[in-house]
Structure 1
Amino acid sequence: MYPIVRVIKELLRARKMPELGALDAHVSYHRCWPQDVDNYLEMNNGRILSILDIGRTGLAQRVGLIGALTKNRWGLTIAGSSLRYRKRIRPFVKFRTVSRCIGWDKRFFYIEQSIWIGEDCAVQALFRSAMTDKNGIVPPEAVFAAVGYQADSPLLPAWAQAWIDADNTRPWPPEFDGTSQPTA
């Protein structure tokens, strides 16, 4: 079940926090509850994705994106992701999520997120995101203009650009549709 109560709580918290610049980091705090764990008694990877979604929601609220989405009738979508899991998140453990935009290109925003237990990074993720309207993807320049930010994208970190480049070599649609034998 999607943690809608957590989303509402995060939005209410973020509303009370100071506004952020478009490239600033939003930090949110959470706890791993029993309903978050899988049969290995650690936070389920699907729940981790939901927690990261909540962090992006708080970030969107604080940079003014929620208002721009509503005003312009835009949608917000995830167009790709890469996650690295390095530490288990056990029941009742407190942790923090750090969310920030690290750059953009002609179509997409790139959001880096991490989950920290004390000083240890448990999860790090890179998301490709886009705003959409009835005509498709809204250019990042238009989105930034709507939140009052005008600047060029910072240079993406080499690891993020390498992921983008590698992902661009992936065939679409996939070559194997599950109805025939895969080609070697």
Structure 2
Amino acid sequence: MYPVLRFTKEFIKFRNAPALPFDGTHVSHHMCLPWDIDLWMELNNGRTLTLYDLGRMILAKRAGLLGAMKRNRWGMTMAGACVRYRRRIRVFEVIEMRSRAVCWDNRFIYIEQSMWKSDGECANHIVYRTAVTDRNGIVAPETVIRDIMVTVPEVKTPEWIATWIAAEGQRPWPPMQD
């Protein structure tokens, strides 16, 4: 079940938070609750992705994306993700989540998120490929950013994200069927 109460709490908690630049970092804190865990008493990998939604939505609000989406009747969809899990998050542990837009290309905006344990270790890290959409399909990121910021800043795609983009371009679609 989607954590609607947590989602609502985050919007209330950050309702007066200052605006962020489009590439600013939103920092939030979350506790691993009993319904977030798997059989090994740690944060379930699927729930991790759901918790990342909480950070991304507030980032979108603070950076002006949600306002632009409402004004223009745009939607948003996820078009891919690359995740790395490195440390366990146990029940009742509090983590710090960091969320930021890193770069964009002609179709997608790339959002980086990470969860950090209280000892300073990164527990997991993800980069999402997201698209803003309208009734005609994907809205160019430059159009979206121009609506939010007026001018579109120059960004450089980090090499590791460029490598992932290239690898995704090689991946067969649809997948092979046996």
> Which TM bucket (shorter chain)?
over 0.9
1:152, distance to aligned residue in structure 2 (A): 4.0
- Counterpart CA distance in 1 for 2:64 and 2:146 is 11
After the TM superposition, which residues 33-112 of structure 1 pair with which residues of structure 2 at under 5 Å, given as runs? Answer: 33-112=33-112
List runs of 5+ in structure 1 lacking aligned partners: none
Residue 134 (structure 1) aligned with residue 143 (structure 2): no
Does residue 26 (structure 1) correspond to residue 26 (structure 2)? The answer is yes
Q: Which has the greater radius of gyration?
A: 1
Moved more, 68-77 or 78-87: 68-77
Number of the residue aligned with 2:168: 167
Q: Return the alpha-carbon distance in structure 2 between the equivalents of residues 150 and 86 of structure 1.
A: 38
CA contact (8 A) 2:108 2:141 kept: yes
**Residues in 2 aligned to 1:151 and 1:141: alpha-carbon distance in whole angstroms:** 6
Task: Tell me the SS of whatever aligns to 1:90.
Answer: coil
Give yes or no for contact 1:73–1:133 (8 Å, CA) kept in 2: yes
Identity rate, percent: 46
Residue 2 of structure 2 aligns with which residue?
2
Q: For residue 148 of structure 1, what is the aligned residue in structure 2? A: 149
Name segments (4+ residues, structure 1) moved above 4 Å: none
Structure 1 SS opposite 2:15? helix
When structure 1 is superposed on structure 2, of 5-14 and 99-108 the one drifting more is 5-14
> What is the deviation of 1:151?
2.4
Aligned residues between the structures? 177
> Following the alignment from structure 2 to structure 1, what is the Cα–Cα distance between the partners of residues 128 and 136?
22
What are the ranges of 5 or more consecutive residues in structure 2 without an aligned counterpart?
none
What's the RMSD between the two structures over aligned residues?
1.0
2: CA distance between counterparts of 1:143 and 1:113?
21
Normalising by structure 1, we get a TM-score of 0.93
Structure 1 counterpart of 2:24, one-letter code: D
